[in-house]
């Protein structure tokens, strides 16, 4: 454990050279990690998909993360975990015969959401989903997501929503939900989306507040005609979307189903 400015990684780390690694972002509320078990299962899934062995880290990580919280006197924060295939010399694409994986765990300050994001909702743009066929692996190889998010920023939007084969998959760093005549819909889990921990929590919450949910993809046109839409992620929680491209969603205000789910989500997260 070292101060952030003293933490160093070799320039030959494959995470740096190839984006050859996986990661997690886990949020702590009041000193407690939200859905830590789900994040650990997803890290295991990502590591397996990348053919990285987690080994003892799988057991040690929760305690390590808790120590970081305590030593930094943090209650509400995000925790970043990155696990790469480590340092290999010389650079070569195939796995090195011997590599010692690099584990990085660091607290990340919670960025405040843009002014009015929760009360007024955010704008999103749509973009073709140019990513690979294993979006279920939470890989550090994020160039398509970064390019999409930057395009959103440059067009004054909060998020870029990906469309693959005519269907809305997810946002560049969030999952996407829409409400059609009271029925909640989101893309099914599988290789075309990241299985969001927040998404899964919202899926479970829907039934507890009596909202019917379909894990079924919708088209961009359907999204634009939805009564409500929102995005989910560890960092954004449940955030209303009130505009996609130049189209207003519903009445252009956060909808009742979104607000109920947001409240229910914050209730369990903060509770």
Q: Which of 235, 245, 253, 268 binds ligand PDD (CB under 6 A)?
A: 235
Contact 153, 160 (CB under 8 A): no
What whole-number distance in Å separates Cα of residue 240 and Cα of residue 177?
A: 9
According to the binding rule CB under 6 A, does residue 169 interact with ligand PDD? no
What whole-number distance in Å separates Cα of residue 73 and Cα of residue 174?
A: 28
Contact 58, 40 (CB under 8 A): yes
What whole-number distance in Å separates Cα of residue 43 and Cα of residue 242?
A: 32
According to the binding rule CB under 6 A, does residue 234 interact with ligand PDD? yes
What would the DSSP string read from start to end of 181-219? TTEEEEPPSSTTS---HHHHHHHHHHHHTT--EEE---B
What whole-number distance in Å separates Cα of residue 215 and Cα of residue 192?
A: 13
Report helix, strand or coil for 13. strand
Which of 104, 141, 147, 98 is closest to 127 using CA atoms?
147
Catalytic residue among 100, 120, 138, 149: 138
Q: Which of 175, 186, 242, 243 binds ligand PDD (CB under 6 A)?
A: 175
Least distance from ligand PDD to the Cβ atom of residue 132, Å: 12
* Residue with smaller CB distance to ligand PDD, 10 or 140: 140
Residues 62-81 that bind ligand PDD (CB under 6 A): none
Least distance from ligand PDD to the Cβ atom of residue 30, Å: 18
According to the binding rule CB under 6 A, does residue 189 interact with ligand PDD? no
What whole-number distance in Å separates Cα of residue 9 and Cα of residue 6?
A: 10
* Residue with smaller CB distance to ligand PDD, 87 or 194: 194
Q: Which of 28, 148, 197, 224 binds ligand PDD (CB under 6 A)?
A: 197
Least distance from ligand PDD to the Cβ atom of residue 181, Å: 26
Least distance from ligand PDD to the Cβ atom of residue 145, Å: 6
In Å, what is the CA distance from 91 to each residue of 8, 96, 216? 19, 9, 42
According to the binding rule CB under 6 A, does residue 20 interact with ligand PDD? no
Q: Which of 10, 16, 18, 25 binds ligand PDD (CB under 6 A)?
A: 25
Residues 110-139 that bind ligand PDD (CB under 6 A): none
Listed in sequence order, the DSSP H helices in 35-131 are 36-49, 57-71, 117-120
Q: Which of 196, 250, 254, 255 binds ligand PDD (CB under 6 A)?
A: 196
Q: Is 149 in the active site?
A: no
Q: Where does this chain bind ligand PDD (CB under 6 A)?
A: 25, 145, 170, 173-175, 194, 196-199, 232-235
Active site residues: 138
């Amino acid at each position: 454990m070292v101060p952030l400015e003293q933490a160093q990684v070799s320039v030959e780390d494959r995470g740096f050279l190839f984006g050859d690694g996986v990661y997690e972002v886990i949020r702590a509320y009041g000193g407690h990690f939200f859905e830590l078990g789900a994040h650990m299962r997803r890290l295991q899934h990502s590591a397996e998909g990348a053919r990285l062995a987690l080994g003892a880290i799988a057991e040690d990580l929760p305690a390590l993360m808790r120590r970081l919280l305590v030593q930094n006197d943090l209650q509400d924060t995000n925790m970043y975990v990155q696990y790469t295939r480590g340092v290999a010399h010389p650079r070569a694409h195939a796995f090195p015969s011997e590599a010692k994986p690099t584990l990085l765990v660091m607290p990340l300050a919670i960025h405040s959401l843009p002014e009015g994001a929760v009360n007024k909702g955010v704008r999103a743009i749509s973009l073709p989903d140019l990513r690979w066929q294993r979006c279920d692996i939470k890989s550090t190889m994020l160039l398509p997501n970064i390019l999409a998010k930057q395009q959103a920023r440059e067009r004054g939007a909060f998020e870029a929503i990906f469309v693959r084969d005519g269907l809305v998959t997810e946002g560049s760093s969030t999952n996407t939900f829409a409400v059609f005549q009271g029925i909640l819909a989101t893309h099914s889990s599988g290789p075309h989306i990241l299985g969001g921990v927040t998404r899964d929590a919202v899926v479970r919450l829907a039934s507890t507040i009596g909202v019917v949910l379909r894990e079924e993809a919708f088209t961009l046109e359907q999204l634009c005609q939805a009564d409500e839409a929102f995005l989910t992620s560890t960092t954004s929680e449940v955030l209303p979307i009130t505009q996609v491209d130049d189209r207003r969603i519903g009445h252009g205000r956060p909808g009742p189903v979104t607000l109920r789910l947001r409240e229910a989500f914050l209730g369990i997260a903060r509770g």
